[in-house]
Copies of this chain bind each other. A is one copy, B any other.
Amino acid sequence: MRQSELFTKTRKEAPKDEVSKNAGLLIRGGFVRKEMAGVYSYLPLGLRVLKKIETVIREEMDALGGQEVLLTTLQDPEIWQKSGRWQDDAVDIWFKTSLKNGHPLGVANTHEEALVNLLRDHISSYRDLPLYAYQIQTKFRNELRAKSGIMRCREFLMKDLYSFSRSEAEFREFYEHVALSYMNIFGRAGLGGRTYRTFASGGSFSKWSDEFQTICDAGEDTIYVDKEKNIAVNDEVYDDDVLAELGLNKERLVKEKAIEVGNIFPLGTKYAEALGLAYKDESGNVKTPVMGSYGIGLGRLMGAVVEALSDERGIVWPESIAPFRMHLISLGKNAESEKIYKDLSKNAIETLYDDRDARAGEKLSDADLIGIPYRIVISEKSIAEGGAEIKKRDEKESRVIGFEEILHYGKKNETMVK
């Protein structure tokens, strides 16, 4: 895409009311716009990143055997009353609204009840299970405060997967598959090597749940990491009994600040029982499926990548989720840039082409801010030296390569956005 046609512009400063680093950089780069605390619009560059994250997650969910659905935001109180999650004193983050006739409606913050109720139409036998359904859908949470940029929002895109199994053992086996799949997702999104499966409190359903925590100073959580065993313990459950149960040695643990980028929960039979979802086993006995739920906030993951990987000059996108693979920058008008841009486009290599009539300093600092992995600069100087200057976003020094070499750096991105 030609940068002269991209409607967003970068800005030198983030808005004064933006306290988070992630949203600060994303707003400056023209990725998102803050509409109010915890509510962000996605602009073309930001939406490209969000869709690449979506593609990575969808591929992993499909590989697990997940079937994709799209549940509704508007929710009838009836099913939430059955599970005891309608009243504001039970769940304090509902946005509520109503139909013209006064009938109250919820604006969904999660979908256990909705999915369980829906599956009553489709599950009756042990042959219908196990079943894994997921969606990538906008959630609404009426947070009292929202100061973490796009990482804790009142409106946000979430992947929520739910599993329905015939026994605790069948559930556990799938739960472990999801845990591996989550590590794949965070690895593919660029957070590998700094993200740990972390034992955490299970809330009311289970002794434990598992969080996925990315080490980062901006994190709201404190975890204790065993870097050899590749696991961690959340501060909230950190005591001698838990360490003993997990076989962890206190002296090998490192205390770190971390961002929770995903979590997986055993749910037991609570929701299925409350809503009357049951099946008949091989002997004709009526049984209740064992559930699990598995969430990843897409904006939270995007925000975590910005927090963890940016530097003092701007964002550093991993290749897998970068809005473009190449940032081609023409300093001064030259025919070579136009030709290279056409070659890259012809080869379906995602390229942002800075063809703007702007100063060199502005173009280069915008490129650092936007954070595209490969920067290719073509100027009179580079042409005289034999080609183009290339530099990866996280490298200090550029080097000159021949024009014919540029395409070699441009392999197609696995999560290309059309």
Count of interface residues, chain A, beta-carbon cutoff 8 Å: 57
The B-contacting residues of A in range 65-80, CB under 8 angstroms, are 65, 67-76
Task: Give bound CA distance, A265 to B70, whole Å.
Answer: 30
Chain A 243-267, CB within 8 Å of chain B: the 1/0 string?
0000000000000000000000000
Closest partner residue, chain B, to A71 (CB atom): B41
A406 in the interface, Cβ–Cβ < 8 Å? no
Q: Known: A62-B418, A74-B140, A107-B97. Contact between A69 and B40, CB under 8 A?
A: no
Give the distance to chain B from A30, nearest Cβ to Cβ, in Å: 8
CB–CB A35/B142 < 8 A: no
Chain B residues closer than 8 Å to A114, beta-carbon distance: 35, 41
A394 interfacial contact with B, CB 8 Å: no
- Judge whether A8 is part of the interface by a CB distance below 8 angstroms: yes
Provide the residues of chain B in CB contact with A71, threshold 8 Å.
41
Interface residue A399 (Cβ < 8 Å from any Cβ of B): no
Q: Does A96 contact B (CB under 8 A)?
A: yes
How many copies of this protein are present in the complex? Answer: 2
Partner of A35, one of B72, B97, B123: B72
A418 partner, pick from B58, B95, B107, beta carbons under 8 A: B58
Contacts of A209 in B (CB 8 A): none
Q: A72 near B7 (CB under 8 angstroms)?
A: no
A74 and B131 in contact, given A47-B69, A142-B99, A418-B62 (Cβ under 8 angstroms): no
Using Cβ atoms and an 8 Å threshold, which residues of chain B touch A33? 118, 121
CB neighbors of B among A39-79 (8 A):
39-44, 47, 50, 58-59, 62, 65, 67-76
Please pick, from B30, B40, B73, B105, the residue contacting A72 in the complex, using a CB distance under 8 A: B40
- Cβ of A119 within 8 Å of any chain B Cβ, yes or no, is yes
A70 is contacted by which of B47, B74, B118 (Cβ under 8 Å)? Answer: B47
Q: Do residues B41 and A67 form an inter-chain contact, with CB atoms below 8 A?
A: no
Residues of A105-154 whose CB lies within 8 A of B: 105, 107, 114, 118-119, 121-123, 128, 131, 133, 138, 140, 142-144, 154
- Residue in B47, B96, B155 whose beta carbon sits within 8 Å of that of A74 in the complex: B155
Task: Judge if A286 is at the interface, Cβ distance under 8 Å.
Answer: no
Query: Which residues of B are found within 8 Å of A95, using beta-carbon distances?
Result: 74, 97-98, 105
B7 near A128 with CB under 8 A, answer yes
Q: Which of B9, B40, B44 contacts A68 (CB 8 A)?
A: B44
Give the residues in chain B near A69, CB-CB below 8 Å: 41-44, 47
In the assembled complex, which residues on chain B have CB atoms less than 8 Å from the CB atom of A7? 67, 119, 122-123, 128, 131, 133
Does residue A6 face the partner (Cβ distance < 8 Å to B)? yes
Interface residues of A in 181-198 (CB under 8 A from B): none
- Of B59, B67, B107, the contact of A107 (CB 8 Å cutoff): B107
Cβ–Cβ < 8 Å partners of A99 in chain B: 142, 154
CB contacts (< 8 Å) of A105 on chain B: these are: 95
Q: Which residue of B lies closest to A55 (CB)?
A: B418
- Interface flag for A19 (CB, 8 Å): no
A100 contacts chain B at the CB level, 8 A cutoff: yes
The distance in angstroms between the C-alpha atoms of A138 and B409, with both chains bound, is 38
Which residue of B is nearest A99, CB measured? B142
Given A39-B74, A41-B72, A97-B97, 12 more A-B residue pairs with CB atoms under 8 Å apart are A7-B122, A35-B114, A73-B138, A73-B140, A74-B95, A95-B98, A95-B105, A96-B97, A97-B107, A99-B154, A100-B142, A107-B107
